[in-house]
Amino acid sequence: MREQAGLESTAEARAWWETRTFVAVLMLLSTVPLLYPANPPLVDLFGHLGRYRVQLDLGTSQMLQRYYDYDWAPIGNLGVDLLVQLLGPILGLELAVKLIVLSIPPMTVAGFLWVAREVHHRLPPTSLFALLFVYNHPFHFGFVNFALSMALAFLAFGLWLRLGRLGRLKLRAILFVPISFVLFFAHAFGWGSLGLLAFSAEAVRQHDSGRGWFRSAVLAALHASVMALPLLVMFAWRAGTQGDLTRNWFEWDLKWEWVYSAVRDRWRTFDIATVAVIPLLLLFALFHPRLALSRNLLFSAIVLIACFILLPWTMFGSAYADMRLAPYMIALVPLAMRFRAETHLPTARVIAIVGLALVLVRFGATTASMALAARDQQAKLEALDHVPRGARVASLVGRDCRREWELPRNSHLPGMVITRREGLANDQWAIEGTNLLTVRYPPAGIFQRDPSQMVFPNYCGRLPWARWTIDTALKAIPRDAIDYVWLIDAPPHDPELTRDMKLVWKGPGSMLYHVRQP
């Protein structure tokens, strides 16, 4: 039996939340939090910016050539990298990255709402609640290739649903071969998520046409198999990789944390309350006589939940694998909600007004949070005005050994040493098979790579995960291989350890020392 959704005539006037103008306004509003910051203040993005600088200028910069190598490879983690290669020489690196990242939220909004429109044949007001997850934990963490791929995945899922609804199955099969490669090279997780979403939706479509669930699943797998060719690239990519590719399976405490912190940013109570809106909305929908859940998107949510449960913490050497999926599987819940038959306008208006109000509050709070972080970072980045080009800089960024809710947005600020000064920075990742950049400056020792830049207060030194304290790091700095030491939000340290250095600049939460060569 086909789902009864959107029974109103297409000639009927749409409510204000269903108009294209309103959707366009929502897309524009989603860009507001990122308009003010010169660089989006996302945790890992500053490390990526350093890599992008090497990617663009290694061939012409002798200073970069002293410290880095860069080797292109066909890996499933290149979305923003490829766009930077295209736009960076035209717009300049920092502006290009800002515009690329700025495009991700509106694409995510469009993807969410298109999926709801295709499944329900109109936009239920409940779909607005999914937009609470546009600025989510992985996005704030700076997983920009992943976030870009997920935005593209939902847009592609909307197209998959539309072509299936129109019966254009042959065209869909042809189009989704190249689409699958675009998604894979943006980020393998986006490609995998699209495959799961497409399979689940096609299984429901096949079942609605009168087939049993087993046969529907087999046929759905066959339809989704047009997106399987990137597997060949993935096998070649991972074949030569050594080391521990997956670890920390079924960490239930962490998985629960990823759920309630799906939009983690700065204010714990506010962020958790945002996530709590969805189970409350679900209870309202389950008990309200006029509301129902689409089996199509409900099945998609169940498939993503199963994947979230099965994913380890580390996948292919990248951490937070399961965390990344949490906000998108939660967003599918409000997207699945609809009215059982005709839309009851009084109820719909109330839901739409509440949903829009919450979205505006969320976007407003995110705007304030981004502005606070950007002003703090801009003040600290003034230190780079006192660093000569090509300098070797060991940065030490303070971290607390207690679990903090506010994201450590300055963890990779040292990457701007590469971006703006073409120098040596100690925040670049060394993950085999994932990073195209390698640091080749052995005299720096441990200060060649992440996480040497993150230091803990001295009183945390007894904890096994916090032994890299500020004093330990200052003692370990090779004075003959480092020109400057940049302290960012650093905890108190023994002043004797900087007595052989000259303080050349001091700002809010930031100090720059010049190392006197032995």
H or E element, residue 239: helix 230-239
What pLDDT shows up at residue 129? 96
DSSP count for the chain of H helices, then E strands: 18, 9
H or E element, residue 504: strand 501-507
Structure tokens given for 100: 């690329």
Backbone φ and ψ for 439, nearest 5 degrees, come out as: -95, 130
Please report, for residues 73, 139, 198, the alpha-carbon distance to residue 222 in angstroms, rounded to integers and kept in the order given.
30, 33, 11
* Residue segments in the chain with a per-residue pLDDT below the cut of 70: 1-13, 238-247, 316-317, 432-433, 518
Which residue, among 231, 195, 307, has the nearest Cα to 76 in the 3D structure?
Answer: 231
Beta sheet of 393-398, edge-to-edge order? 454-455, 393-398, 484-488, 510-515, 501-507
What pLDDT shows up at residue 9? 38
Whether the Cβ atoms of residue 430 and residue 61 lie closer than 8 Å to each other: no
Q: Is 72 left (phi over 0), alpha (psi -120 to 50) or beta?
A: beta
What pLDDT shows up at residue 518? 62
Which residue, among 272, 258, 279, has the nearest Cα to 334 in the 3D structure?
Answer: 279
Cα–Cα distance, 475 to 227 (Å, whole number)? 53
Which residue, among 35, 484, 478, 40, has the nearest Cα to 265 in the 3D structure?
Answer: 40
Q: Which amino acid is at 401?
A: C
Q: How far is CA 387 from the centre of its chain?
A: 31
Predicted model pTM: 0.91
Whether the Cβ atoms of residue 152 and residue 188 lie closer than 8 Å to each other: no
